[in-house]
Structure 1
Amino acid sequence: MTYQEHVVLVDGQGNPIGTAPKTSVHTAHTPLHLAFSSYVFDEGGQVLLSRRAVGKLTWPGAWTNSCCGHPLPGERLSVAVTRRLAFELGLRVESVDLILPRFSYRAVMDNGTVENELCPVFRAVVRDEAAPNAEEVDTVRWMPWKTFADQVLSGELDISPWAREQVPQLVALGPDPLTWPVADPAELPAAAEPETGEPA
């Protein structure tokens, strides 16, 4: 039997209400589901941007933050971040921190496909160079955080709709991304598995 990845469905208050195959949820009527976004930084505070592979169902070829994804049912979000960074970018993380526990967004592509996610945002710090998985990521580039944030805020940089909404909230936390305050895991949606211990 072929393994089929599932995502966690949630209600408007962030409570789990079931699961659905990942391949079936992104339509013109995408149900609200649990996801994450991550921003990868090097030790100098540069952010890693990724350009989504052209074969992706949602926002193919778009520049975006480092990595996004969905936790598996029963998987902690921080573990999902670590797993997807390894899979999509070949990265081993030094640390993963919760930054925006309650971020959510809904966005509609030109073809009517909808993204509809409760999407907590994480910061990850790495020392490695990325080795993109071509099925997921077309290319990557490092940018100083301030340059990236300024270009997003001004509209100069064409970026994914979720990153466009996340960046102002991240900028409000301070100019140095390595010193942003870590959020309380208790603020995560109820559908998220408890963040106990270190990411596996």
Structure 2
Amino acid sequence: MTHEEHVVLVNAEGEAIGTAPKSAVHGADTPLHLAFSCYVFDGKGRVLLTRRASHKRTWPGVWTNSCCGHPLPGEPTAEAVTRRLSYELGLDATGFELVLPGFSYRAVMGDGTVEHELCPVYRAVVDTDARPNPDEVGATRWMPWDEFTHGVMSGLLAISPWCGEQVPLLIALGPDPAAWAAADPSGLPPAARSPWQGAPA
């Protein structure tokens, strides 16, 4: 028997308040829930971009950062990053670091569907190429970081709304992603520091 995946719902203070089925949580009144974003780099300082699969519920076919996902109820956020990098991209990135612990956003699609996430951001470095899962990823490409950030900031590169909001914050960390200082985990929202242990709603 397959169990439906749930996401962790959070309040304005970032505290877990329950769970909801992932399949039902995205609509016109999407509640704030816990997620993460990850930017994957190679040894040349290039960032891995992914195009969301065309059947995705939110922003199908749109280019975005390397990987996004939702921690499962009771799952530490770092474990969720490892799980989704493996599932979406076939990458074993055991060495990754938190860089933007408190990022959150709300975005609305043209059809009124809302994405509303408390979304810590991580950086990972890999030495192998991705093996994208077509259920999640339509295409991938490596791009030099400065070329990517210039494209986003100039509006020449169409990108997901959360990635568009994250890029200026990442630029502020410094021009070389390899030199970004890891963020203090104490800056994570409470729901990401202490995984939800309640039963699914």
Please indicate, yes or no, whether the TM-score normalized by the shorter chain is above 0.5.
Answer: yes
1:74 Cα offset (Å): 1.2
Distance 1:34 1:194 in 2: 12
Partner of 2:113 in structure 1?
Answer: 113
Distance 1:94 1:191 in 2: 22
1:194 Cα offset (Å): 4.7
SS of the equivalent of 1:122 reads: strand
Partner of 1:92 in structure 2?
Answer: 92
Show CA shifts across 1:10-58 (max 9, x none): 0011011001111110011000000000000001111000000001000
Distance 1:88 1:136 in 2: 6
> Aligned-residue CA RMSD in angstroms?
1.0
TM-score (norm 1): 0.95
Partner of 1:12 in structure 2?
Answer: 12
Partner of 2:198 in structure 1?
Answer: none
Alignment check: 8 A CA contact 2:186 2:193 kept = no
Distance 1:128 1:77 in 2: 23
Moved over 4 A (4+): none
Distance 2:94 2:18 in 1: 33
Partner of 1:59 in structure 2?
Answer: 59
SS of the equivalent of 1:139 reads: strand
1:2 Cα offset (Å): 2.2
Count of residues in correspondence between the two structures: 195
SS of the equivalent of 2:192 reads: coil
Partner of 2:160 in structure 1?
Answer: 160
1:128 Cα offset (Å): 1.1
Partner of 1:71 in structure 2?
Answer: 71
Show CA shifts across 1:100-143 (max 9, x none): 00000000000110000000000011111101100100000000
Distance 1:126 1:82 in 2: 12
Alignment check: 8 A CA contact 2:185 2:193 kept = no
